[in-house]
Amino acid sequence: MTSKPTIGFAGLGAMGFGMATHLLSQNYPVTGFDVYQPTLDKFQSAGGVPATTLAASAKDKAYYIVMVATAQQAQSALFDTDAIVDNLPQNAVLILCSTVPSAYAKSVQKELSARGRDDIAFIDAPVSGGAIRAADGTLSIMAGASDSAMEKGKWLLEELSAPSKLFIVQGGVGAGSNMKMAHQVLAAIQILSTSEAYGFAARLGLNGQEVRDKVVGGKGWSWMFENRSLRTLTQDYFPGASAVGIIMKDTGIITSTSRLLSYPTPLVTAAEQVYFSAADRGYTPNDDAGLVRLWTETPVTDIQSTLSDQEKSDRLDLVVQLLTAIHLVSAAESIAFADHVGLPLQQLYELASEAAGGSAMFKEFGPRMIEVLEGRGEDVKIGSHLDGLKSAVEEAQKIKCPLFLGGAALNVLLAAGKGGEVGLKGLLGLYTVS
């Protein structure tokens, strides 16, 4: 019987721990490093081999996975004296699964070469799916690398991803990170749109459970709404499952890249400002489903409606109209940005539709947007969504309820229409940079 190769692993946070223990469940020996000793103890109890230094975790490991939180952490773990790269054997496969800027992923490849380690097969492979899917080995993975590196490391990516959820992105190192960035445009907007919708609903006197019942399964649905609303309804924020600091970091990657490329990302930029406001209130380590506290301190399930059935129906419709318009503009922002950085748009659509960035609007309008950008589609009028958003924003103005994304989306759609009827061509045209 052929023994399976030992895998080195750095970064045993929620996602990393799930990935590493999944490999253990598949009978791979895994040596893991983390700066937090209780996590190492837990990893040892799960059958892993804990390493107290990065050097020990990398020594003699032909395959190594890095799943730390930031590019700064990755740089230190990889290249500090006697860290990972100094201790990997010749011809090792190195996989960076952290969400980092594309420019950073490319810099890793350059630094490996500068240090005389061109023998290392480097793969830029950010992941999506959350801790549960990490532990199940059903992640979505966006991977970019040279053909030779991908050939050596693809089997390991397949072990960690769901069938059909390993996306090999053409373009080499950096392309995987760009694909994750385009996906996170959707995630960054739709995490906040969930709380904005609940906050608006609370100000309208609507009970949170009734809002969820109305949205899930309808036009206002997004994966983020369905997922985060469960924690919003139970106030499961401390620490919850996905900290505000995580999406704030990812949002920063998008906005810094957009500035570098002189490219507009108005909704993500608006979302980032709200995340900063949340950070000022001390919410950074709390679950991002708790952003609704920016609108209401009253738990949304405690709100008792005194509205008539017709009033309740009309106000629930306003919440849905807010969400559908935001999700429509977020789809345009993501797809157009992906086009700008040269990503395969159909691949983005396939990835995001069934991942955390998915929404009913993305699924409906994504293919039409791609056709327009590729010059083969007819224009699609979207004035009804503009009208619905106007109604929501006007009602919010009456009750003095802040709609950060709603206001930004309204301005985008108004600019796209230029005073006339708004269509997808006009919307996407706002994002076209010659």
Q: Which residue has tokens 């980032």? A: 272
Q: What pLDDT is stored for residue 130 in this prediction?
A: 85
E strand or H helix at 142: strand 139-143
Tens digit of each residue's pLDDT (9 = 90 or more) over 119-165: 999 999 999 988 899 999 999 999 999 999 999 999 999 999 998 99
How, if at all, do strands 121-124 and 93-96 pair? parallel
Q: Do domains 7-173 and 178-431 have the same CATH topology?
A: no
The secondary structure of residue 301, as a DSSP letter, is: G
Write down the domain spans for the chain. 7-173, 178-431
Rounded distance, CA 108 to CA 57, Å? 19
pTM: 0.94
Q: Contact, 319 vs 389, CB < 8 A?
A: no
Tell me the CA end-to-end span of the chain in Å, nearest whole number: 58
What does CATH list as the number for 178-431? Answer: 1.10.1040.10
- What is the pLDDT at residue 57? 98
Q: Could you state, in chain order, the average pLDDT of each consecutive group of 10 residues for the chain (434 residues)?
A: 86 96 97 96 98 97 97 97 96 97 97 97 94 94 97 98 94 97 98 98 97 98 97 95 94 96 97 98 97 97 94 98 98 98 96 93 98 93 98 98 98 92 96 76
pLDDT for the residue numbered 25: 97
Q: What is the pLDDT of residue 1?
A: 40
Nearest to 143 by CA among 174, 164, 184: 174
Using alpha carbons only, give the angle 102, 108, 114 rounded to the nearest 5 degrees. 140
DSSP code per residue over 76-141: HHHHSTTSHHHHPPTT-EEEE-S---HHHHHHHHHHHHHTT-TTSEEEE--EESHHHHHHHT-EEE
Which of 123, 126, 125, 106 has its CA nearest to residue 114?
106
Residues 6+ apart with CB under 8 A from 383: 417, 421, 422
d(CA 428, CA 410): 15
Task: Check: CB of residue 177 under 8 Å from CB of residue 105.
Answer: yes
**223 and 257 in contact (C-beta within 8 Å)?**
no
Rounded distance between C-alpha atoms, residue 51 and residue 209, angstroms: 46
Quote the CA–CA distance of 412 and 205 in Å, as a whole number: 28
For the domain made up of 7-173, the CATH class stated in words is alpha beta
